[in-house]
Amino acid sequence: MASIRKALDKALSHYGKKEYADAERGADVVLEAYPDFTRALFLKAVILEETGRSGQADEFYRKAGPLFPMWFRLALQLQKTDPERALKYFAKVSTMDPNDNMIWYGMGSIYERLGYHDEAKKCYQKMSLKREIVSRLLSPIGFFIIMAAGSVAMLKHGDKALASLVILSAIVCLYWLKRDGGRVLEMMKKRNKYR
């Protein structure tokens, strides 16, 4: 299995450099050994599509399974190294889930970086931040407050062991808040910048 993983990693590396022939050969090596290997099926489909063989790509896409997470992941992986290809895959997933704020944020960031400010504005304006604010900001803040208050109450009652676990959970909430809350604040900043 390790050699198959290496072959797939090598194929992905060739794909990233647009060395399509080598990438396709690598995907084929993996598929010969494991014909149902989802990532290899998906890679083969992407290569076929990007080299003008969409009809053949459809067959591999069907076998690969749910495409949304794979196209979304590919867009995220390509956004810094190949923004044009990333935009193509962000566009695909945006039609599948037009309410996903991370898609619009990703597309907007690429357009902004490329200097297409009108396109960036359109993307940022499609974000609906209420859900993001509740799930990524208010929820972790609420959990932190509950856990902090609970740990104080436990310490007052002498339950130090359980209080320490709750304090650790509160610390995890702070990391959650820092990671996700920062993203929401960045989204809000982008939306306000492009009003």
Tens digit of each residue's pLDDT (9 = 90 or more) over 160-192: 888 888 889 888 888 888 888 888 888 889 888
pTM of the model: 0.79
pLDDT at 159 over 90: no
Long-range residue pairs from 69-78, CB within 8 A, at least 24 positions apart, any chain: 70/38, 70/39, 70/42, 71/96, 72/102, 72/103, 74/46, 75/103, 75/106, 76/106, 78/16
Q: Which amino acid is at 127?
A: M
pLDDT at 143: 86
Q: Are 130 and 136 in contact (CB under 8 A)?
A: no
